[in-house]
Every structure is written in structure tokens, then in C-alpha cells.
Amino acid sequence: MNPTFRLRELPLAFRFGLTGVVGAVLLGLWASLTHLQDHHQNRDARPGVSIDDLVGAYHGIDNPAPFVVALEREHPKEQQAADRKLLLDWLKSDKVSENFDNPDLGPAAPAEIVARDCLQCHSRKSTQGEGIGQTIPLEYWDDIEKVAFSRKLEATPWPILVTSTHTHALAMATLAGVLMILVWSTRFVPFARSMVAFLLGVGLACDLAGWFLARESAALVWLVIGGGSAFAGGAALGCVLVLGELWLPRRGN
């Protein structure tokens, strides 16, 4: 089924105007992706956007420090209770990095305790502990830092989520509808036009539904990722088809 009207039939001035609108949509897509990166990156205190950043935003993360978990389950078994308490108090304080090798603490400094009680297994060259020193070394502060901090990220508060949905759902649905109409009025094969509509509609529905469903299950954050990617891809493809129809040479129906 082919359209009876094509965008190429519009007057020249109108085609220039519509080209500007499509260019603005493409610029908006770029800005949206840049905003998402800037908004979500470092949420987990690590550079770049990771799956943990997104899980933290849509579901929330509450991961205690691996070092704390190990100590609270009394690992290593042979460690003195007093030394274990010193390490736990240090890890739960607000001066974890400052006091790691604080010389004023003498033998009670966490670095000293770790050296006495942990490095026989958690050293890179250790032959004990079934090679745990290769995967979880504790020789230097850079090693300790990776396991010493808890990560607690709160999901986006409900009122903000509803407000954001109110804004984005109406605007994005309107954009999707307009692009579908424009794409339908192009010369390209029905499969390409239908694929744009599919990606826009299904992608948007999955993206927005995922915002709410992911609050119950972290796995459903992938619904947000997949839906958002599909919508962005469909919008970009739609813009390309519209621009192609506007400026490629005329051809018969």
C-alpha cells in the first residue's frame, strides 16, 4: 500500500521549512542522549554511564561494602574480635580513606591490621586462599577502595517520576505520531515505513512502562534501555526517510 501524497510534492519553501523542523528533531535527539549521559553518569561514583547508574535511577541500589560483609560473617575466622571491631568501626566511619594508614593509630591502623590478618591470602603473589589474591587483592589503598564503600542509590522519587512522565509522555507521543505521518508520505518500501512506526510506538510504550515496572524489579531496567534505544533509533530512521523524500529526485509512484 503506497501513499497517495508524497512530501516531495510540497512547494520548495515548504520543503525547506520542513527540513529545518526535521533537523531540529535530530538535534533534539542528540541533546537528549547527551543529557541522559550527563544526568546518570557518576551516580554510582564511577566514571561514565553504567548499568548500575540506571538501576540506581529507576530501581535503587543498596549494596553494603564487600569488606564489611566479609567481616560481619567473621572472615577470616582466626581474626581477633578486637581487630575485627576496629576494622568495622573504621569502614562505617566517615574517614575511611583518611584513616586507612594513619600513623597516629600505630598498630591499630587499618592498614596494619589488614597486613597482619588478610595479606597471607589477599596478596597478588600469595599461594594461599585458592588464588583469591588475584581477584580480590588487598595490598594497597587502590585495592581496598574497591571493596570498602557501601553503595546506596535511591530511585527517583515518585512525585518527580510522575511529573517527568506527564511531560515526556505527551511530548514524545506527539513527536512519534507526527513522524509516523510524515514517514508514511514517503516513497520508501512499506517495510521501512512500518519499521519506523513499530520502533517509535513499541519503543516508547516499553520505555515509559519500564520507568514504573523497574521500581519493582531491577531486571526490568532493561525494558527502559531497550525501549528507549528503539524509540531513538526509530526517530533517527524516520528523520532520514523524511529528508530523503524531501530532497531525492522525483520518481514515479
The domains of the chain are located at 7-60+154-247, 65-149
Contact indicator for 153, 40 with CB cutoff of 8 Å: no
The whole-number pLDDT of residue 49 equals 73
User: How confident is the prediction along the chain (253 residues), in pLDDT tens digits per residue?
Assistant: 677 899 999 999 999 999 999 999 999 999 999 988 887 776 555 667 778 888 888 999 888 899 999 999 999 999 999 999 999 999 999 999 999 999 999 999 999 999 999 999 999 999 898 889 999 999 999 999 989 988 788 899 999 999 999 999 999 999 999 999 999 999 999 999 999 999 999 999 999 999 999 999 999 999 999 999 999 999 999 999 999 999 999 875 4
- Note the pTM of the prediction, 2 decimals: 0.75
The whole-number pLDDT of residue 252 equals 56
* CA 127, chain centre distance (Å): 38
What's the sign of the alpha-carbon dihedral 178, 36, 165, 51? positive
The whole-number pLDDT of residue 42 equals 63
The whole-number pLDDT of residue 253 equals 47
User: For 157, what's the count of Cα atoms within 13 Å in the CB-facing half-sphere?
Assistant: 3
Instruction: Give, for 152, the enclosing helix (H) or strand (E).
Output: strand 151-153
**189: buried, middle or exposed (CB in 10 Å: 19+, 13-18, 0-12)?**
exposed
The whole-number pLDDT of residue 44 equals 52
Amino acid code (one letter) for 143: D
> What is the distance between the alpha carbons of residues 100 and 96, in angstroms, rounded to a whole number?
6
Q: What's the full length of the chain, in residues?
A: 253
